[in-house]
A = this chain, B = another copy of it.
């Protein structure tokens, strides 16, 4: 594609683990990539610009959406945290993003939802995207909220959303659960690219997974995104299995999609903090 598909894409959470990878993946899709994060980003490429603000700052967040064709919203708190942080970073922050989209006429949002929006479903339930929300913590609850927010802004204001329920996007599968929950960084970029360029999204939910052998969910309801994973975890299996003992299949963290998030207590209680996605 000589002409990029978009003029300017806003990427929130641009300094985060996935945000860093997405800078690489989004580059060919737009003339200009606007990076947003609460920390300063200094290594700007020529096609990049950066904004530093907190998503909880309504005015700054809305302003960041000006002149933008599409938003890739990966910002906010990425793990289980006390209510105040979830409320400000994810609930209020995402509301500000959608208000920015509405006020500045942005047509499509690609949102980093999470497996933790559906973490209390079981593997053997083999859910698809029609299954009801079953968040496994406050973090997952905030993801449910933003999915519903996206639905509202689609139904009422005509802003499309593809909400990607990312399972575990890390450099490599780090434990036995990731043998089925892993989303490689390259596949993550493929998925976001598909969600941005799909001819028609409306409001669509998709699961973010590489093509691993064990498939914990059924992604057929997102076939119109055109996402085709290229990676899987087979090359990592031997090492992971050697390092990690076989867990009890009846342990809550093994039976549920959310993994060890279901074992977490309430993040507002002392000494029970959350954990990286």
Contact = CB atoms under 8 A, between A and B. Distances in A.
Contacts of A145: 141, 144-145, 148
Nearest to A160: B249
Given A213-B228, A226-B214, A200 B124 contact: yes
Interface string A141-176: 100110011011001111010000000000000001
A123 interface: yes
A215 interface: yes
Contacts of A204: 124
A85 interface: no
A50 interface: no
A31 interface: no
Contacts of A60: none
A277 interface: no
Q: What is the copy number of this chain in the assembly?
A: 6
How many chain A residues sit at the interface, stated as a range, is: 35 or more
Interface in A52-100: 83, 87, 91-92, 95, 99
A135 interface: yes
A242 interface: yes
A163 B33 CA distance: 43
A145 B177 CA distance: 29
Closest 9 CB pairs of A and B: A215-B223, A214-B226, A213-B226, A124-B202, A120-B155, A123-B224, A144-B148, A123-B200, A200-B249
